């Protein structure tokens, strides 16, 4: 095993059983991502790329196979331990931002730190720091619905960064955002990657994927091309 | 993440959605408030009826004419004209009867009373001086019916305070003035002391006239409506009932007790009957209250279910950010507890205020049963917490992505 690898999967399968039909979403997926990489996962809709992302983000468990994240065998962990992994090791950025409604940017960003038991002063300081980093230093007390789509996504990025996670996972981060703002988000990702963050991003847009150093193509639940 | 912080966050979430929070609280308020108010109303009624019956006089036996029984057809109780003034005198003077003190022969009927421009419909009671002692009637001003009034058929009347108010206005002194009843003009010689109470047996809404005047001049009858007897003590009530029963059977030349043309009721019998009746009434009210509590509970349940279900995505997000199941359940439980507790406290206060107003309006005693408060609170809080907890723990048990995808 490569000591530099931060994500390693072995023979991941994800099978949805809806009672009548079995749907194979992931079939024998094995790959690895190294520390400091900026990886894009591409594929048509229904290819299983989102399922893969959710498993990488510990939001879902594989039906079988192994998933090693930063030295932890995630596929074997219990519910409470998974919560801890999600909290400390993973910064997840959703396509739909998923901010708490009618809640200020500060409070949204502080939420993961609250679950980690970080003291109040430190929380506020860090939230302010990361919101400033994503360019929202002047929008700290704006509630989610007072922010534009691009701004909301930047709050979500600040929220993903604030626990200083091992990896940043972004699921179609620019999918809901106008192209000018999408470029800003991508340059933010590049900057974060230059600062040493490992970034894994899902997209179906080739020009967005072009920002990454490495592109993994997924089709019918399998990795078809690297 | 400590509980105080969760508590503050829960408060914040609840104030974010004021309408929903308000409706949830309203359901609990109505549930708890109505239980407290209705149970209180029932108990107040029961107490006031009991105390009113007790105020009618203790150690009291009432002889009523029996039902008519002719040709095997049994008529209504009290429909017969078998009790006479002679019976009353015989009971009073008989040496065979040792347990009876005062004897009050009575004849009463509701009739129209007029004076000047006003009139009222009230109970006119033909009575002897013994009535006042047996029924604990006291005189506020003037005097009660005297023995001489009965002997000479005086055209006099003693009014209850309610009648005075109805005819002459609040606080008027009617003594010396006249009223007309049953075609006769009666001079008012006294007013009785207010006893309180309302309804059919209102002690204050009565007019007393000499028994003979009522029988001969007002209503044209020669029998009695009833004879009230005062036993010498509460201990001899049963003996007194038997003695008087045998005495009257003999006097009416009846050998078979089942053929008796009269019946003797003790105050205790009446009290027992009324207590069981009002007990039923209280149960009925409690039943209605239970239904409103149930409806309130379903309201809480509904709102809690909706609240949690529509926040399934939020639960998914919180889990995705690292919230443990325990924290999410605690958060929703806290919200439920805040809702039910706030609603419960408001409901208890409103219930007590309502009971207070009811007791003022109906001049019945103000009774609050701690048991009803506890029951109402426990039931609605239980419902609120259970139905907040159940969907929350269900949502918290989902994989984050399933909760996030929830539509």
- B6 touches A: beta carbon within 8 Å: no
Cβ atoms of residues A1 and A164 within 8 Å: no
Interface-testing mutation among A50, A75, A83, A160, with chain B (most B C-beta atoms within 10 A)? A83
Interface-testing mutation among A114, A160, A163, with chain B (most B C-beta atoms within 10 A)? A114
Distances (CA, A) of A68 to A32, A72, B395: 9, 5, 27
Distance of residue B391 Cα from the nearest chain A Cα, in angstroms: 18
Cβ atoms of residues B62 and B224 within 8 Å: no
- B319 touches A: beta carbon within 8 Å: yes
Q: Cβ contacts (< 8 Å) between B5 and chain A: which residues?
A: 114
Distance of residue B407 Cα from the nearest chain A Cα, in angstroms: 14
Determine the average pLDDT of the residues in B324-339: 87
Q: What pLDDT was estimated at residue A162?
A: 93
Q: Which residue from A79, A86, A102 is facing B321, i.e. has the nearest CB?
A: A86
Query: Is the predicted pLDDT of residue B209 greater than 60, yes or no?
Result: yes
Q: What pLDDT was estimated at residue A108?
A: 94
Give the nearest chain B residue to A156 (CA atoms).
B321
Q: A12 forms bridges with which residues in the sheet?
A: A29
Distance of residue B343 Cα from the nearest chain A Cα, in angstroms: 25
Full-model pTM: 0.66
Query: Is the predicted pLDDT of residue B199 greater than 50, yes or no?
Result: no
The rounded distance, in Å, linking the Cα atoms of A128 and A140 is 7
| Proportion of chain B above pLDDT 90, given as a percent | 19
For chain A, give the secondary structure using H, E and C: CCCCEEEEEEEEEEEEECCCCEEEEEEEEEEEEECCCEEEEECCCCCCHHHHHHHHCCCCCCCEEEEEECCEEHHHCCHHHHHHHHHHCEEEECCCCCCCCCCEHHHHHHHHHHHHCCCHHHHHHHHHHHHHHCCCCCCCCCEHHHCCHHHHHHHHHHHHHCCCCCEEEEECCCCCCCHHHHHHHHHHHHHHHHCCCEEEEEECCHHHHCCCCEEEEEECCEEEEC
Query: Is the predicted pLDDT of residue A201 greater than 90, yes or no?
Result: yes
**Average pLDDT over all residues of chain A:** 90
Cβ atoms of residues A113 and A87 within 8 Å: no
B325/A80 Cβ within 8 A:
yes
Cβ atoms of residues B177 and B189 within 8 Å: no
CB contact burial A191-202 (16+ within 10 A = b; e otherwise):
ebbeeebbbbbb
Interface-testing mutation among A48, A52, A53, A59, with chain B (most B C-beta atoms within 10 A)? A59
Query: Is the predicted pLDDT of residue A40 greater than 90, yes or no?
Result: yes
More confident residue, B300 or B392: B392
Q: Cβ contacts (< 8 Å) between A80 and chain B: which residues?
A: 324-326
A/B interface, count of CB pairs below 8 Å: 61
Name the pLDDT band for B74 (thresholds 50, 70, 90): low
Fold of A37-61+78-225: Rossmann fold (3.40.50)
Q: What pLDDT was estimated at residue B59?
A: 81
Q: What pLDDT was estimated at residue B57?
A: 65
The rounded distance, in Å, linking the Cα atoms of B51 and B55 is 6
Q: Cβ contacts (< 8 Å) between B398 and chain A: which residues?
A: none
Query: Is the predicted pLDDT of residue B196 greater than 70, yes or no?
Result: no
- β-strand pairing of B69-70 with B262-266: unpaired
Distance of residue A101 Cα from the nearest chain B Cα, in angstroms: 9
The model's pLDDT over A161-179, given as tens digits with 9 standing for 90+, comes to 999 998 999 998 888 888 8
Q: What pLDDT was estimated at residue B251?
A: 87
- A115 touches B: beta carbon within 8 Å: yes
Q: What pLDDT was estimated at residue B261?
A: 84
Give the nearest chain B residue to A118 (CA atoms).
B1
Of A6-10, B108-112, B330-334, the range with the lowest mean pLDDT is: B330-334
Q: Cβ contacts (< 8 Å) between B14 and chain A: which residues?
A: none
Name the pLDDT band for B191 (thresholds 50, 70, 90): very high
SS3 B339: helix
Q: Which of A:116-135 have CB within 8 Å of B? A: 116-117
The model's pLDDT over B239-267, given as tens digits with 9 standing for 90+, comes to 888 888 888 888 888 888 777 888 888 87
**Average pLDDT over all residues of chain B:** 83
Interface-testing mutation among A57, A95, A98, A165, with chain B (most B C-beta atoms within 10 A)? A98
- A100 touches B: beta carbon within 8 Å: yes
Distance of residue A195 Cα from the nearest chain B Cα, in angstroms: 23
Q: Domain spans of chain A? A: 37-61+78-225
């Amino acid at each position: 095993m490569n000591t530099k690898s931060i994500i390693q999967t072995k023979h991941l399968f994800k099978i949805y059983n809806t009672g009548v039909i079995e749907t194979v979403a992931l079939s024998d997926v094995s790959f690895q991502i190294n520390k400091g990489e900026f990886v894009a996962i591409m594929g048509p809709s229904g290819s299983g790329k989102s399922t893969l992302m959710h498993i990488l983000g510990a939001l879902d468990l594989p039906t079988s196979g192994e998933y090693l994240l930063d030295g932890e065998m995630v596929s074997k962990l219990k519910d409470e331990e998974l919560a801890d992994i999600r909290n400390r090791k993973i910064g997840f950025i959703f396509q739909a931002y998923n901010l708490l409604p009618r809640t200020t940017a500060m409070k949204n960003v502080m939420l993961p730190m609250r679950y980690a038991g970080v003291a109040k002063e430190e929380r506020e300081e860090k939230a302010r720091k990361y919101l400033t980093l994503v360019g929202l230093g002047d929008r700290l007390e704006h509630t989610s619905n007072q922010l534009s789509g691009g701004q909301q996504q930047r709050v979500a990025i600040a929220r993903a960064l604030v626990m200083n996670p091992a990896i940043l996972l972004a699921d179609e981060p620019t999918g809901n955002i106008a192209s000018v703002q999408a470029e800003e988000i991508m340059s933010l990702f590049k900057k974060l990657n230059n600062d040493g963050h490992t970034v894994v991003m899902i997209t179906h847009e080739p020009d967005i994927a072009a920002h990454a150093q490495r592109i993994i193509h997924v089709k019918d639940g399998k990795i078809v091309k690297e | 993440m400590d509980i105080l912080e969760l508590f503050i966050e829960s408060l914040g979430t609840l104030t974010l959605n004021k309408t929903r929070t308000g409706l949830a609280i309203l359901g609990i308020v109505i549930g708890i408030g109505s239980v407290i108010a209705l149970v209180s109303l029932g108990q107040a009624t029961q107490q006031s009826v009991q105390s009113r019956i007790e105020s009618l006089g203790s150690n009291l036996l009432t002889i009523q004419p029996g039902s008519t029984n002719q040709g095997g057809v049994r008529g209504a109780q009290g429909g017969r004209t078998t009790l006479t003034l002679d019976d009353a005198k015989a009971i009073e003077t008989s040496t065979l009867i040792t347990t009876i003190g005062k004897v009050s022969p009575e004849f009463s009927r509701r009739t129209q009373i007029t004076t000047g421009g006003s009139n009222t419909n009230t109970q006119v009671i033909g009575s002897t001086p013994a009535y006042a002692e047996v029924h604990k009637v006291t005189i506020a001003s003037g005097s009660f019916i005297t023995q001489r009034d009965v002997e000479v058929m005086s055209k006099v009347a003693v009014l209850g305070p309610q009648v005075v108010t109805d005819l002459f206005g609040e606080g008027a002194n009617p003594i010396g003035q006249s009223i007309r009843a049953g075609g006769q003009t009666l001079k008012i010689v006294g007013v009785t002391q207010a006893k309180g109470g309302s309804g059919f047996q209102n002690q204050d809404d009565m007019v007393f006239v000499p028994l003979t005047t009522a029988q001969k001049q007002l209503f044209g009858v020669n029998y009695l409506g009833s004879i009230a007897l005062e036993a010498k003590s509460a201990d001899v009530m049963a003996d007194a009932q038997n003695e008087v029963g045998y005495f009257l059977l003999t006097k009416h030349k009846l050998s078979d007790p089942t053929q008796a043309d009269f019946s003797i009721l003790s105050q205790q019998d009446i009290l027992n009957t009324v207590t069981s009746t009002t007990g039923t009434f209280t149960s009925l009210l409690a039943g209605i209250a239970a239904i409103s509590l149930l409806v309130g509970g379903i309201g809480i349940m509904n709102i809690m279910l909706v609240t949690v279900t529509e926040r399934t995505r939020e639960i998914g997000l919180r889990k995705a950010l690292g919230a443990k199941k325990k924290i999410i359940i605690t958060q929703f439980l806290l919200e439920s507890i805040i809702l039910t507790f706030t609603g419960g406290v408001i409901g208890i206060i409103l219930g007590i205020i309502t009971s207070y107003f009811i007791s003022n309006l109906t001049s019945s005693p103000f009774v609050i049963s701690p048991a009803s408060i506890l029951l109402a609170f426990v039931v609605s809080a239980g419902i609120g917490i259970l139905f907040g907890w159940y969907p929350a723990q269900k949502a918290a048990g989902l994989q984050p992505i399933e909760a996030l995808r929830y539509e």
